[in-house]
Amino acid sequence: MATFTNARLVTPSGTVEGWLRVAGERIAAVGPGTAPSSPGKTVDLGGRLLAPGCVDVHVHGGAGVSFDEGDPERALAAVAFHRRRGVTTLVASLVTAAPADLLRQVAALAELCDAGELAGIHLEGPYLAPGRCGAHDPALLRLPDPAEFRRLLAAGRGHVRMVTLAPELPGALDLVRAAVAEDVVAAVGHTDADHATTRAAFDAGATVATHLFNQMRPLHHRDPGPVAAALNDDRVTVELVNDGVHVHPEAARMAWRAAGAARLALVTDAMAAAGLGDGDYLLGGLPVRVSGGTARLAATGAIAGSTVTLPEAVRRAVRDLGVPRHEALRAASAVPAAALRLADVGELTPGRYADLVVLDDSLAVTSVYRRGRPVAAPHDATAVYEPDSPFPAD
């Protein structure tokens, strides 16, 4: 048992001075003010922020490793990289691949889900619009196939948590319904759908918009498309890649205001180069060149994921968009957890896993705990944030 005292607890509605007690892997109790006496260790946080561990539900790798390599041991290096930076829950994303390769990749990642290292698998494809494929190999895209989808679910042994598809494709709405029936979250993305077709997907049960704005029909005042359909639908959680590259700050600010704090989930879409320097990498077998921290396909120049970490995205939201700290942290924890129905994580609530991140006033991560156990905190330049100006008070 351990009690964290002298903390500023990050809740969905703001920050509260108080304490939090951990028993085993779970949060045992939370309260304001001074903690009642209790056996066990006491950790005085010195007034630092104590927030839920971050939850990244759209991430392709990091530390030089791609989840699509299909190697569980190597995938652990990517998991460890993000975990040290405060991301205690990851859903591994897979890009479009040939049928046999995708089955192999899903089966490999299911091993890490069985072991509790990953919270699930996200199939970003292969049922995407060719004209909006981005960093996916267009030669491997295919129409929604219920039989293949069932094989992928079987290979995942219950760990496939989300599938992204383009709703305008023949059979797509039926696949949305099939996913919902299997308790898999259906997401709209990589799509050229019009507004009505996107709404039809949401009516069929889709509840997430994959990396809003990116690789989808753009917003137009006479052709609102999927962006407006997602932002205006209270049933839908919108993902946002807030790395300063994928989405202009003004567009990101618009999304925050339209979706509200309860429906916007920060994601990284991070690929293998996250945590490393510029150079040449692979994503889904396609060559990617990273320059100035921006990943693009070597052949076409299309953005190929990001190199950001989720705490970085939180800091950018506060600094660049003016989002209150507790809302930015909620967008990186409670909102994505709720979107994928990950009931054991995302909030500082008794009974949930003791997945915790300690941050200083500049939102730099100083300590990480996962299921009650300390994780080595980062000590390299990628984890240090030096704001251009003081952060606003929460």
List, by residue number, the catalytic residues.
269
d(CA 386, CA 217): 36
d(CA 317, CA 328): 6
d(CA 385, CA 382): 8
- CA-closest candidate to residue 159, choices 202, 201, 196, 123: 123
Q: How many other CB atoms sit within 10 Å of the CB of residue 142?
A: 15
Radius of gyration of the chain (CA): 20
- Bridge partners of 26? 23, 353
The sign of the torsion formed by the CA atoms of 241, 243, 246, 248 equals: positive
Q: What is the largest CA-CA distance in the chain?
A: 64
d(CA 311, CA 32): 25
d(CA 303, CA 282): 13
d(CA 319, CA 383): 16
